[in-house]
Structure 1
Amino acid sequence: MSLTSVVFNPIKTHTATVVFSHGLGDSGDGIAPAFLSLSKMLGHVKFIFPNAPSRPITVNGGMIMPAWYDISSLGENIEEINEDEEGMLNSVRGINGIIRDEIDSGIPSNRIVIGGFSQGSAMALLVGLTSEYRFAGIAVLSGYLPLRNKIFKMAAESNKGTPIFMAHGVIDAVVPYNFGKLSSELLNSKGYRITFKTYNTLSHSINPDELRDFAQFLKDVLPDE
């Protein structure tokens, strides 16, 4: 699966890349403006915002919309999520194609951060944990760990020590805060390097405080060289 993307090209010599995936029903064009200030701040970094393919979404009555995978139900219990593994793995292949293109262009994998918002952040974790490439970091905004009952059997050792930035709003009514917190605790228990940030007034969105913390994470793992 070949994906189209919205791209913020670096304003200085290109030495690092962020691949950041949007949430359900959104697009690269929709989410990219939220990161324009980060792109200007990190002039050596190329930002890529892939566009998910459109597909029917069961929980929305079969409405066709951009999505990385189908969602059949929503609930408060993370253990009861019925996940679209086939859709997720198809999307992994598409995102991996973008990563390979960056590596082929001369950017080493340890200068690439994989991130996302909501559905996109679940994809970031699935791509990051299963990849044979070692990344500079993984960023999870308002998301959760997908395929939690089998992902550690699928995981490669490459990113066991990779910094993972997780951020979640306490009043998120779409992906409950508890999903993010439990996911971070499970990853931490498996030995992954987790930073979990909580935002008391943040709903299912991105706010300036979160962007500031994400920017600092990117500065730490993708320093200008």
Structure 2
Amino acid sequence: MSLFRVDPETPFSGPHQNQQVVTGGSNIDEAKMAMILTHGRGASAQSMMMFADEFDADDIHYRAIQAKRHTWYPRSFMAPKEMNQPGIKSGLQGIHDQISELNESGISTDKIMLLGFSQGACLTTEFAARHPQRYGGIIGLSGGLIGDEIHPQNYKGSMEQTPVFLGCSDRDPHIPQERVDLTEEIFQKIGADVTKKIYVGMGHTVNQDEIQHVRNLINRILNAE
């Protein structure tokens, strides 16, 4: 079964369209790069702005998108995809719409990073794998590709060596390490430059090593000629 991909000519309309977008950091007209932040189940767009404080970087415009009722899709990310619709499609459309707005404002996609935590990491990695191109970076914190089964042949195209960072605990109660490993394999297959870090006993959270890795990627973009 082929995967849904956003069609700019016929945008998908679902529960997450017309939801709040929280912005921060540099003004979009002055920023050299941008980051789209995608929250986890039960969280909010506003809560993701804590990452802006952690990264403490100038010249970056942040956009955090909001899921309706704080949940991108109702069931586990490892449930059959059809059981999590229309949430998945609507969330993917939401990420696409923010990229398009940033492009229209003069920030090219290779200067845009996508970062998600937990359910947001699942949506973020799924978006990038379904819409491969050169991004500034893809950050999946405690998440992985969505579905009860993952078929590598469904993911086609090239990430053009986009840096992808996958960080997760070896005993995360929501994200099996096997799914993070498979997500790494899929991204490598479609030409991403993948760094995966599995942290022993970390739990379902974000640690300072992950924050530092993202800081390094941000600096790489800001310092590029």
1:1-225 correspondence to structure 2 within 5 Å:
1-10=17-26, 13-38=30-55, 40=56, 42-54=57-69, 66-71=70-75, 73=76, 81-83=79-81, 84-131=84-131, 134-147=134-147, 149-150=150-151, 152-153=153-154, 155=156, 157-223=157-223
Q: Is the 8 A contact 1:3 1:95 kept in 2?
A: no
Tell me the SS of whatever aligns to 2:145. coil
Q: Is the 8 A contact 1:169 1:199 kept in 2?
A: yes
What amino acid does structure 2 have at the position aligned with 1:207? N
Tell me the SS of whatever aligns to 2:62. strand
Q: Is the 8 A contact 2:39 2:118 kept in 1?
A: yes
The separation in 1 between residues aligned to 2:191 and 2:132, in whole angstroms, is 18
The separation in 2 between residues aligned to 1:152 and 1:160, in whole angstroms, is 18
TM-score scaled to structure 1, two decimals? 0.79
Tell me the SS of whatever aligns to 1:26. coil
What amino acid does structure 2 have at the position aligned with 1:37? E
The separation in 1 between residues aligned to 2:222 and 2:127, in whole angstroms, is 19
1:209, distance to aligned residue in structure 2 (A):
1.9
The separation in 2 between residues aligned to 1:200 and 1:213, in whole angstroms, is 17
Deviations 1:136-175 (A, max 9, x none): 21111100112453575254x2525322111112232222
What amino acid does structure 2 have at the position aligned with 1:136? G
Quickly say closer, same or farther: Cα 1:94–1:190, change in 2 above 3 A: closer
Quickly say closer, same or farther: Cα 1:205–1:218, change in 2 above 3 A: same
1:44, distance to aligned residue in structure 2 (A):
1.0
Q: Is the 8 A contact 2:169 2:177 kept in 1?
A: yes
What amino acid does structure 2 have at the position aligned with 1:140? G
The separation in 1 between residues aligned to 2:100 and 2:22, in whole angstroms, is 17
Q: Is the 8 A contact 1:139 1:164 kept in 2?
A: yes
What stretches of structure 2 of length at least 5 have no aligned partner?
A: 1-16
1:132, distance to aligned residue in structure 2 (A):
6.5
TM-score scaled to structure 2, two decimals? 0.79
Sequence identity percentage: 23
Deviations 1:45-89 (A, max 9, x none): 1111111112xxxxxxxxxxx111121x58xxx6xx323253211
